[in-house]
């Protein structure tokens, strides 16, 4: 089948899509529509055919007083006509923004998947698309990375998690700057880190863009500073012993090159959303109240709190542990350390000490719910429960965790039952003096209890958010609450059925172990 993938995102996002594009390309002819600015990096992946969206040229046509207003229209029409002549059998939207959804309405194919307009009307989001809309806002902790959620939405093949080559003897590369000032770690700390790593006998090299070279040479004159084009950079990262960087496209290219990665995530960088897609990659994330802040906005603090919280010794300890020069890194109270591990169906799982089980569980439940597996005549609870038990070696720890989970589910059931009563009661009072908001305060208190009960998962974000909507349209507000409550109830039911089957699996495992003994 001939498939067009709409990918109108940034370079780092495109790099994260490569494993998914390769999985799709195993059985299909894959074409990719990308922004014109990505043309140089497409040469790194010649296995796909590319079409280029002239975003900057269109913006110039629309804003320049010297350009005909119809020039942008003609340019866009020409692109759409060229794509029509390709006769794609399917078009998949991997971008999920307003521009791409509008563009989907102009493109022609028998099958279209992902967020889209049809005949000028936005097609209602379902399943994984709803998950993307509801869970991908600021301060969210989604269970899936962006592309894994998109893959579920468009139903494209799953991509396995990449691994790192930990047996290299090449240079240690430091990428000092990011595209956003507030995501940068102070240059003097980078310099001290470079000196400390060199003391270990490592070949330390600095990566930078051409316009950064002069600034780099002021402090890093004693190190090899490299300005590389994309092809040379790909080759360099394919030899790297370790890559240390902020949240940049370099991190995601390094993952494709199997270079071990240590990410320093500051400012708007959020490891839950943009951690490297590589098993074993490490991320350090300072724990400050304002992080992550909003993308492409100035830091709202008087001091750069997140960068101040990440000292050189913390990063150095992690480097030493990753390269085998010493013992395991020491946990620092105000810096969270994450490792990317294979989750359910080999999807990336961002694991923090002591929270792996909870995150694996969240992925399992969401995949079950978004795939509507629970609506089948014979729902595959048994096979899903086995996925969970196979992930955990210790039967004792899994049984203890399951007992705690059952207790949380009982409390959640009580909260949802109270919420259901209040929401239905409010629906009945619409049009009366109370006008549907008699129990607003009680509802907020209950949802806050729910949030505190499940602080590390994203099961009930939609329900909590539905309680914070303005009162402009009270009927719509209550309708949203009702739909969010239905979703929450289904998620709890799935968990109860899964835990029941998981308990059976654990009992069988213990019986088999006893028989062998």
Q: DSSP assignment of 121-142, as one string? A: EEPPP-THHHHHHHH-STT---
Higher pLDDT, 275 or 347: 275
CA distance 188 to 196: 12
Share of the chain above pLDDT 90, in %: 47
In sequence order, which residues have a C-beta less than 8 Å from that of residue 54 and are 6 or more positions away? 36, 75, 79
pLDDT at 469: 59
Nearest-angstrom CA–CA distance, 262 and 249 = 13
Residue with tokens 């010649």: 46
Joined tokens for residue 147: 């592309």
- Distance between CA 191 and CA 168 in Å, rounded? 24
pTM over 0.85: yes
Q: Encode 55-64: b = buried (16+ Cβ within 10 Å), e = exposed.
A: eeebeebeee
Packing angle between helix 474-516 and helix 356-370, nearest 10 degrees?
120
Domain 2-154 = CATH 3.40.50.2000: yes
In tens, the pLDDT along 53-96 reads 999 999 999 888 888 878 999 999 999 999 999 999 999 999 98
What is the helix (H) or strand (E) element at residue 352, kind and residue range? strand 348-352
Q: Hey, where are the domains in the chain? A: 2-154, 162-352, 354-517
Going by C-beta distance under 8 Å and a sequence separation of 6 or more, which residues neighbour residue 38?
11, 14, 52
Q: Which residues are CB-contacts of 294 (< 8 A; sequence separation ≥ 6)?
A: 138, 268
Separation between Cα atoms, residue 235 and residue 240, nearest integer Å = 9
3-state helix vs strand vs coil in the chain, percent to 5 = 50, 15, 35
8 A C-beta contact, residue 88 and residue 2: yes
Q: Which CATH class is domain 162-352?
A: alpha beta
**pLDDT above 70 coverage of the chain, percent:** 91
List the end-to-end C-alpha distance of the chain, in Å, as a whole number: 54
Domains 2-154 and 162-352 share a fold: yes
Q: What pLDDT was estimated at residue 128?
A: 79
Identify the CA nearest to 14 among candidates 279, 350, 252, 246.
252
| Pair type for strands 282-286 and 335-342 | antiparallel
């Amino acid at each position: 089948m001939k498939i067009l993938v709409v990918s109108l995102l940034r370079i780092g996002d495109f790099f994260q899509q490569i494993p998914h594009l390769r999985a799709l390309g195993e059985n299909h002819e894959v074409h990719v529509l990308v922004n014109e600015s990505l043309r140089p990096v497409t040469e790194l992946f010649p296995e796909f055919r590319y079409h280029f969206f002239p975003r900057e040229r269109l913006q110039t046509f629309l804003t320049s007083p010297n350009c005909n207003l119809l020039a942008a229209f003609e340019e866009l029409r020409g692109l759409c006509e060229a794509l029509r002549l390709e006769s794609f059998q399917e078009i998949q939207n991997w971008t999920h923004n307003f521009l791409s959804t509008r563009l989907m309405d102009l493109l022609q194919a028998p099958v279209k998947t992902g967020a889209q307009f049809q005949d000028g009307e936005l097609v209602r989001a379902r399943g994984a698309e709803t998950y993307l809309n509801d869970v991908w806002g600021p301060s969210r902790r989604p269970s899936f990375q962006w592309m894994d959620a998109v893959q579920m939405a468009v139903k494209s093949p799953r991509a396995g998690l990449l691994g790192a080559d930990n047996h290299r003897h090449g240079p240690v590369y430091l990428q000092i700057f990011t595209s956003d000032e507030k995501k940068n770690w102070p240059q003097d700390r980078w310099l001290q880190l470079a000196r400390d790593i060199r003391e270990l006998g490592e070949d330390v090299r600095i990566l930078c863009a051409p316009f950064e070279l002069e600034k780099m040479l002021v402090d890093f004159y004693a190190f090899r500073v490299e300005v590389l084009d994309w092809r040379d950079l790909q080759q360099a990262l394919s030899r790297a012993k370790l890559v240390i960087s902020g949240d940049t496209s370099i991190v995601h290219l390094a993952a494709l090159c199997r270079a071990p990665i240590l990410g320093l995530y500051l400012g708007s960088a959020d490891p839950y959303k943009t951690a490297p897609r590589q098993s074993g990659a490490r991320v350090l994330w300072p724990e400050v109240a304002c992080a992550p802040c909003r993308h492409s906005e100035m830091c709202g603090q008087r001091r750069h709190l997140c960068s101040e919280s990440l000292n050189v010794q913390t990063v150095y300890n992690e480097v030493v542990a990753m390269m085998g020069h010493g013992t395991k890194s020491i946990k620092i109270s105000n810096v969270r350390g994450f490792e990317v591990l294979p989750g359910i169906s080999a999807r990336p799982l961002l694991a923090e000490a002591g929270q792996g089980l909870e995150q694996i569980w969240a992925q399992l439940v969401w995949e079950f719910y978004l795939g509507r597996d629970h609506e089948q005549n014979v729902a595959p609870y048994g096979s899903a429960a086995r996925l969970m038990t196979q992930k955990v070696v210790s039967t004792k720890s899994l049984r203890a965790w399951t007992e705690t989970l059952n207790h949380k589910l009982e409390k959640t059931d009580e909260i949802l039952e109270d919420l259901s009563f209040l929401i239905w009661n409010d629906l009945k009072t619409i049009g009366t003096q109370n006008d549907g908001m008699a129990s607003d305060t009680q509802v907020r208190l209950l949802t806050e209890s729910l949030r505190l009960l499940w602080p590390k998962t994203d099961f009930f974000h939609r329900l909590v958010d539905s309680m914070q909507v303005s009162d402009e349209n009270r009927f719509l507000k209550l309708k949203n609450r009702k739909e969010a409550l239905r979703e929450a109830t289904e998620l709890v039911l799935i968990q109860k059925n899964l835990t029941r089957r998981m308990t059976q699996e654990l009992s069988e495992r213990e019986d088999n172990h006893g028989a062998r003994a």
